[in-house]
Structure 1
């Protein structure tokens, strides 16, 4: 990783200080807008890493160029690339298959959707957005960046993919406003719900939307009437030739697919029978029928295949980091893989944050990541500690405290008038 260049400028291709400052200070538009989504789609993964140089080459640079290089490699280390992990590939494969099938349907009035569930820092949003961006690139190339359903003379934006975050206090009106806000479409405050639904339907059609990503769907709680209405509205959108892609934390546990339980033996979510089954004979709800659910997992460290996948991921990070004393095997040699698995539990977001912080601390110091350096970084992990070979099982909701039961009196019963039956003739 730190091989020296035999000739030429070791920092050839390094941007100027003004360009580096522009990269650091530039802000990304909100992702839940058309401008923000297009910025993400066109800029994702385009950051060129800082060149790799040796400590000797760095010491020979002018002080101003040393500062420029250190600034740029801080930017490099803080932007770890999205790698092809089994979890990421699983999400991308399902989304590609569902979108490919739905966009070719002609007579089916309802489009099946996708749900991506997982715990915090598991990479749900990154995987879904990446798959959505790939689909949009392919769709635009197929239609030469033109909307095949556009009306003659219309100049509507062509937006095959729409990304919206579920409102914190979700209502059917607030959800419609969020979708319309993606296009910055004007709305009247006095607009009724039917008017907003019609505006959303027209916007999705006019802009050629094929995929609607609704993030943070776990904000819905099925014990609230408004949230139930929001779920009904989402199902209504599925009849608009749009594929719904919902992402959230613990989707099976929030009631969207009924309260599910994790089966340790089969390592799958199991849905208990509905109460209505006994009365109406209904076995599965509409939501379960219309959506495919994927549970994003974390890295495991039990079988040789799982260990190899985790080490390969560390190799990708190792090749991206820019530290002067870095060497091959910095993250994959010795006991470092086991240490990183123990510290992060295999959660991809926690792993990235730990190594980003470690690289930041190493610049100007060790210029190398090791266990002693990472020991000084406090990493907060949600939930109790779990062994790497145990499945991630959601914490059971706290049961309502039962009122203390009153104990009956323990005074012995009076047996004076009890009839014990006739005495035996034999005295036995």
Structure 2
């Protein structure tokens, strides 16, 4: 599914359920008529590309932080509430975790209120992606568009904010997720003004606020006077790539690989193939410990295995997959002695 860029899109995301295809043997697949084989393969491609979330230590830790954040909302207060920021480099799962939290929050609110998913009288969650070069009016106009509120010509940022606040209170919004927040550069005038508007906007709602962004600890978001104000009220959870230099980190990595391997809808793949000591190390070297890069590597290899009718993932097949640049960046941080022969042949440094 595309990133939910409207309340309608968010509701589709919340109600969407990924359907795991039936696990057929190779003989059963080959016995299908050609059109049925094509349909079955398309269902497998859809499953491989779906946002199926594997529970990790980071999801558990961030979920606990959100519980604390929501518990604080029960208190009557006249000062600014706390904000949680999920930081990390690209590909470590920031947006995936935030959207999962939003999905769980919406389900919990609807269950508590007895409102079905199709009920349009509430919108427990707002999911906003901050555009580059954002100004206060651009920011609040984006929120207005997300909830379907027409913005009249001549409205300035404060006016738009007032109307947005009124609508969100009627919709009982109790969680605001602000993604790509690193696009707010508080060391520049427009960015600082937009950040100030965002701060004021979130403070006027009794809602848990979650920021997501790339390397926020080193970003311009936390620079300048406005940056200091944001730091004073924000807890930052910094997502890290998986390590491989200790028994505990290797165990965590192997557990992640095993979870992803179990999701592969391949008829001839033998479970445990990817979690042997050599293969686990190879996968870590290829991806630099990035969960996103690992998902892409295994997904592309699985699709190729289906198209070639091999129906299993092999080292040779994995070697042919072209990785994203974040994975290449991760490889650059691996000591040369730890790299695989395939990496050396490709010139990874």
- Considering the TM-score relative to the shorter chain, is it more than 0.5? yes
User: 1:140-176: CA deviations, max 9, x gaps?
Assistant: 2222239xxxxxxxx9731111001112220111111
Asked if residue 33 in structure 1 is aligned to residue 6 in structure 2, the reply is yes
Gaps of 5+ in 1: 1-27, 147-154, 260-273, 275-283, 389-428
Shift of residue 83, structure 1, vs aligned partner: 0.4
Residue 379 (structure 1) aligns with = 323
| 8 A contact 2:149–2:164 mirrored in 1 | no
Deviation at 1:30, TM superposition (A): 5.2
TM-score (norm 2): 0.87
State the Cα distance separating 1:29 from its structure 2 match.
6.5
Question: 1:288 pairs with 203, 227, 231, which one?
Answer: 231
Q: Is the 8 A contact 1:156 1:206 kept in 2?
A: no
Structure 2 residue 29 is matched with structure 1 residue 50: no
Structure 1 CA distance for aligned equivalents of residues 221 and 45 of structure 2:
42
Compare the two structures and name the one with the higher helix fraction.
2
SS in 2 for 1:285: helix
Mapping of residues 136-151 of structure 1, within 5 Å: 136-145=106-115
How far is 1:303 from its partner?
2.1
Q: Distance in 2 between matches of 1:193 and 1:357?
A: 44
Q: Does 1:162 align with 2:126?
A: yes
What is the root-mean-square deviation of aligned Cα atoms in Å? 2.2
Q: Give the aligned partner of residue 343 of structure 2.
A: none
> Can you list the C-alpha shifts for 1:198-233, whole angstroms capped at 9, x where unaligned?
112212222211111111011122232010011111
Residues 21-420 of structure 1 correspond to what in structure 2 (within 5 A)?
A: 28=1, 31-43=4-16, 46-79=17-50, 81-102=52-73, 104-145=74-115, 157-240=121-204, 241-258=206-223, 285-363=228-306, 364-382=308-326, 383=329, 385-387=332-334
Distance 1:242 1:365 in 2: 50
Q: In the aligned structure 2, how far is the partner of 1:111 from the partner of 1:186? A: 29
Structure 1's 156 and 141: CA in aligned 2 closer, same or farther, altered over 3 A? closer
| Number of equivalent positions | 327
Larger radius of gyration: 1
Kept in 2: contact 1:180–1:203 (CA 8 A): no
Q: In the TM superposition, what is the alpha-carbon distance from 1:356 to its structure 2 partner?
A: 0.8
Distance 1:353 1:327, change over 3 A: same
Gaps of 5+ in 2: 336-349
- Deviations 1:37-58, CA, capped at 9 Å, x for gaps: 1111111xx2221222222232
Q: Does structure 1 conserve the Cα–Cα contact (< 8 Å) formed by 2:297 and 2:318? A: yes
Change (3 A) 1:64 1:198: closer
